[in-house]
């Protein structure tokens, strides 16, 4: 009996079905070891303060925080270097007078 030939699409669909069924939510311990493991794979350099912070979160909160993009920086200039009588609300002084 001949073995059926699977198309590339059939193989992809089968692999996707196996992967989707094989992912279970982690229910093990959430200790310093697991936090360090997660941080080593998601950020560059792990500080003790990072370990303590993420250890204080649940696993879901930690993953959500790591995967949620940071807000974009402000498009408003941080300082106004105008010397035309304008007072910058941040208190910055113009160091290059006109």
Q: What is the mean pLDDT of residues 45-66?
A: 93
Residues 73-92: tens digit of each pLDDT: 777 666 655 556 666 677 66
Q: Using CB atoms within 10 A of its CB, is residue 46 exposed (0-12), middle (13-18) or buried (19+)?
A: middle
Q: What is the mean pLDDT of residues 43-53?
A: 92
C-beta separation of 70 from 64 below 8 A: no
C-beta separation of 36 from 51 below 8 A: yes
Indicate the helix (H) or strand (E) that contains 9.
helix 8-22
Q: Is the pLDDT of residue 67 over 70?
A: yes
Task: Locate the domains of the chain by residue range.
Answer: 44-68
If pLDDT is split at 50, 70 and 90, which confidence band does 96 have?
A: low
C-beta separation of 62 from 54 below 8 A: yes
Q: Is the pLDDT of residue 16 over 90?
A: no
User: What distances in angstroms separate CA 10 from CA 2, 14, 82, one per listed residue?
Assistant: 18, 6, 66
CA pair distance 57, 35, nearest whole angstrom: 10
């Amino acid at each position: 009996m001949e073995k059926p030939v699977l198309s590339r699409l059939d193989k992809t669909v089968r692999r996707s079905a196996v992967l989707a069924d094989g992912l279970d939510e982690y229910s093990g311990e959430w200790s310093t070891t697991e936090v360090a493991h997660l941080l080593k794979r998601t950020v560059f350099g792990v500080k003790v303060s990072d370990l303590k912070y993420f250890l204080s979160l649940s696993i879901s909160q930690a993953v959500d925080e790591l995967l949620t993009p940071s807000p974009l920086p402000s498009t408003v200039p941080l300082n106004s270097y105008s010397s035309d009588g304008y007072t910058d609300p941040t208190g910055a002084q113009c160091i290059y007078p006109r």
